[in-house]
Amino acid sequence: MFVPSGARYLTLKPLADFAPRTVSWSAAVTRWVRLLEGYAGPPWRADRVELVQSFLGQGPRGRPRYETVDTFPLGADRPL
């Protein structure tokens, strides 16, 4: 594990790492797209975007803790 400046550092595990090595990346993606192409989830509306900061190792059982830094409203009723 790489440790910059003495701080704990966890690498991001990209989705590509979960595809079997015997299958090409494009074949794995194609399989997921075909599996999900008929899915229509429930409707939902986003009314804001939140900027979130993570604190590695500060949550329960050494997991990350997340804190909302700022909130940005979406839609026509947002202040200009």
Q: Is residue 79 part of a domain?
A: yes
> pLDDT, tens digit, for every residue of 39-80?
888 998 899 999 999 999 898 888 999 999 999 999 866 555
Could you tell me the residue range of the domain that residue 60 belongs to? 42-80
Number of domains the chain is built from: 1
The amino acid occupying position 1 is M
> pLDDT, tens digit, for every residue of 7-38?
665 665 555 555 556 667 788 888 888 888 88
Q: Is residue 53 part of a domain?
A: yes
Could you give the CA distance from residue 23 to residue 28 in angstroms, rounded to a whole number? 6
Q: What pLDDT sits at residue 51?
A: 95
In angstroms, the Cα distances linking 41 to 44, 48, 49, 75 are: 9, 20, 20, 22
pTM for this prediction: 0.44
Q: What pLDDT sits at residue 35?
A: 87
Q: What is the DSSP-derived secondary structure letter of residue 59?
A: S
Is the per-residue pLDDT at 3 higher than 50?
no
Q: Is residue 54 part of a domain?
A: yes
3: left (phi over 0), alpha (psi -120 to 50) or beta: beta
Q: Is residue 17 part of a domain?
A: no
